Amino acid sequence: MAVVAAPPARAPARLRWVPAGAGVLAAVAGLALVAVAGFLVAGIRSGPVDWGQLLTSSTWDPARGRFGAAAMVFGTAAVAGVALLLAAPLGWAAAVAVTEVAPARWRRRLRAGAELLAVVPSIVYGLLGIAFLRPLVAGLAGVPGGDSLLAAALVLAVMVLPTVVAVSADALAAVPARYREAAAACGLTRTEVIRSAVLPQARRGMAGAALLALARALGETIAVFLVVGRADGRMPGGLGELWSRLVRPGQTLTTKLNGPESVLAGTRGAHWAALCALGLVLLAAVAVLTAAGLRGAGRPPTGRRRAREGAGAAGHGLRSVWPGRVARDRATRWALAGALALPLALVAAIAVVVTARGGAALDPSFWLTAARGASGGGVRDQLLGTVVVVGAAGLLAAPVGLGLGLVVGEYAGPRAQRSLRSLVLTLGGVPSILLGLWGYWLFTTRLGWGRSWLAGAIVLAVLAVPPVAVAVAGSLGDLPGERREAALAAGLRRSQLVRSVLVPHAVPALVTGLLLGLARAAGETAPLLFTAAVFSGAAGLPSGVVDSPVATLPTHIFTLAQDGGDAASRSAVWGSALVLVAVAGLLVLAAVPARRRLEARAG
């Protein structure tokens, strides 16, 4: 009697679009990066650009038609460079501590604690810079005010620290255990094992972490804008003047683009073309650094180099343990523990400061009443506007991120997969100010939407797509091979495999990536300043799309932060900051239990 195979199970109707739609959605995400670059190129072509003057002159005078950006390039390089000099050694040491020194049962918690610095919105870092770093620089250098390149660099050092820690920790964790075991068998102490066997294997990934952090620093806008001083034409005459320039106001590429000139210049002509040229220089620098960082972080040492370095570690031979080595090992481990304690202490300090100064937000009425005047009332409308824009961004980002993740994790070959991963992470590294200008150019001026909540949501969705795609692709890579083989053995075609197995498996990662992406989007300020937000006069909930702005928490904080002399403004701005941190924190905290619940349901 013949055995008739059962027909393949049909996927739920709501999932049948997935295989066909994945490529389309992935193309949409790729086009976003092309659109930003294309908008900048079109802007450059709208007027004459003297590239020689732009890159070598420090005179920026639109009234006289002189557009020299050398001082801005110097300011950008100085701020990002000093930030990296401070953050990279500390981040490397903290990563070594959390992966090699800390007890195994505490490593995940300690790493998560250090990476909480990434949850703090950039506008809140700007507030902290105004409150603490400007007075620090003013007292240190004896300059009034404290607005300076150095203050901006100190803010950025804290902001990029979690990037160095996270990527370096991944590189260290990827080193095979056999290298540690071989070195330890030779009698090396714990820190000698790290130095001779682990760090040589992880150094490329750790260098990649520094490059990714540098790209992040180059693209930061709002936190730098609030403390850098925004003074054009400040170039050092030589190395002797370097310190003097660092402790005085300056300008960076992002802060120039975030200023009023980007709106006053129109969307064509020499002034607009020069601003777009600045944006293209910034985008190219960030893209190159991101690609280089990913290349370093994603490529382990070759087999030959691994063998040579492993032999070098074992070549120490059996070594006796003498008191000097033991004392040095203990001292080094304490130093590494101190490096890990610093980011944890910064997280705690930020939480304490924002809570203490944002006492207004501890009153429920602050959340539930509308703002009055310049700094009175609460943040009801700003909270509603933030929820509307971020919620709409999530609805747009989820399907696009899922499609892009499916293409990267399932459909692409090995070479295309590497290229697509680089594309996704490059898209995630695009400075938000460039996305804001693109949204202003396209939606506000070309399409005639004016200030529109939907324009802001589309721009924020671009920021939220990369975390979703990375999470989905990573989840597909972790799918047990036997589940895929069982599905194929049951007669499922590839499209059915995607619908019935891969998508349900990826849903927990999709939710996690989306919540993390929205946590970042909720704290973005620059894109909303140009596309969606107004300080006052907006309804709590928009009634249309065209000329339908909203008030949002980040832009509300940004406006109030520039009126620091008013006590009422200070109370309102810190209360609003506490609300924003709470919103971002809740999104991040919800990611872990949501993923566990969905995984348990799927399992």
Q: What is the pLDDT of residues 407-431, one digit of tens each?
A: 888 777 777 777 778 888 888 888 9
For 522-534, write each residue's pLDDT tens digit: 889 999 999 998 8
388, 340: one domain: no
pLDDT digits (tens, 9 = 90+) for 486-534: 777 777 776 777 777 788 888 888 888 888 888 889 889 999 999 998 8
Q: Tell me, yes or no, whether 129 lies in a domain.
A: yes
Query: Is residue 57, in this structure, part of any structural domain at all?
Result: yes
Structure tokens at 35: 């659109």
Q: Which among 167, 161, 178, 187 is positioned nearest to 99, based on CA atoms? A: 167
- Same domain, residue pair 213 and 74: yes
The percentage of the chain sitting over the pLDDT mark of 70, rounded to a whole number, equals 88
pLDDT for 6? 42
Q: Which residues, at least 6 apart from 124, have a Cβ–Cβ distance to it below 8 Å? A: 350, 354, 523, 557, 577, 580, 581
Residues 289 and 341 in one domain: yes
How far apart are alpha carbons 115 and 94 in whole angstroms?
11
- Is 459 within the bounds of a domain? yes
Q: pLDDT tens digit string along 576-595?
A: 999 999 999 888 888 767 76
The verdict on residue 244 lying in a domain is yes
Residue 187 sits in the same domain as residue 263:
yes
CA distances from 523 to 304, 439, 489, 527 (A): 46, 17, 47, 10
Helix (H, G, I), strand (E, B) or coil at 229: strand
Give the residues across from 533 on adjacent strands.
550
Domain identity same for 434 and 314: no
Residue type, 198: V
Task: State the pairing for strand pair 376-377/371-372.
Answer: antiparallel
Is 300 found in the same domain as 223?
yes
Looking at residue 404, what is its pLDDT?
85
Task: Please give the helix or strand (H or E) that residue 354 lies within, else none.
Answer: helix 323-357
**Is 353 within a domain?**
no
What's the CA gap between 471 and 476, in Å, rounded?
9
Q: How many CA atoms lie within 13 A of 244 on its CB side?
A: 8
342 shares its domain with 397: no
Q: Which pair of structure tokens corresponds to residue 496?
A: 């059915």
382 by Cβ neighbours in 10 Å (0-12 / 13-18 / 19+) ranks as: buried
Q: Which residue has the tokens 């590497």?
A: 418
Largest CA distance in the chain: 96
Q: What is the pLDDT of residue 144?
A: 86
- As beta bridge partners, residue 228 has none
Residues 283 and 237 in one domain: yes
Distance in angstroms (rounded) separating the CA atoms of residues 451 and 458: 13
The rounded radius of gyration (Å) of the Cα atoms in the chain is 26
Q: Comparing 46-60, 146-160, 219-233, 293-307, which segment has the lowest mean pLDDT?
A: 293-307
* Exposed / middle / buried, residue 174 (Cβ in 10 Å: 0-12, 13-18, 19+): middle
CA atoms within 13 A on the CB side of 539: 9
Pair (222, 275) in one structural domain: yes
Count up the domains in the chain and report the number.
Answer: 2
Give the pairing of strands 66-67 and 60-61. Answer: antiparallel
Query: Above 70 in pLDDT, residue 45?
Result: yes
Per-residue DSSP letters for 108-137?
HHHHHHHHGGGGS-HHHHHHHIIIIIHHHH
pTM more than 0.95: no
pLDDT at 12 over 50: no
pLDDT at 412: 74
Residue 599 lies in a domain: no
Instruction: Quote the pLDDT of residue 308.
Output: 47
In this structure, of 17-26, 64-73, 311-320, 586-595, the range with the lowest mean pLDDT score is 311-320
State the pLDDT confidence band at 312, using cuts at 50, 70 and 90: very low
Residue for token digits 């953050």? 87
Lowest mean pLDDT among 114-128, 196-210, 397-411: 397-411
Q: 395 and 286 in one domain?
A: no
- The boundaries of the domain holding residue 145 are 28-318+328-348
Please indicate, yes or no, whether residues 291 and 194 belong to a single structural domain of this protein. yes
DSSP 14: G
CATH of the domain at 83: 1.10.3720.10
Q: Which of 158-162, 322-326, 331-335, 546-550 has the lowest mean pLDDT?
A: 322-326
Q: What is the pLDDT of residues 226-264, one digit of tens each?
A: 999 999 888 888 888 889 999 999 999 999 999 888 888
Q: Which of 158-167, 311-320, 465-474 has the highest mean pLDDT?
A: 158-167
What CA–CA distance (Å, rounded) separates 516 from 166? 15
Q: Does any domain span residue 577?
A: no
For residue 435, the Cα-to-chain-centroid distance in whole angstroms is 14
CB contact at 8 A, 456 and 450: no
Signed CA dihedral, 563, 567, 568, 571: sign only: positive
H/E stretch holding 371 reads: strand 371-372
Give the C-alpha separation, 534 to 551, whole Å. 5
What integer best gives the mean pLDDT of the chain?
85
Residue 403 lies in a domain: yes
Instruction: Say whether both 510 and 418 belong to one domain.
Output: yes
Cα→Cα distances 289→212, 354, 363, Å: 6, 33, 45
Q: 155-209: per-residue pLDDT in tens? A: 999 999 999 999 999 899 888 888 888 888 888 888 888 898 899 988 888 998 8
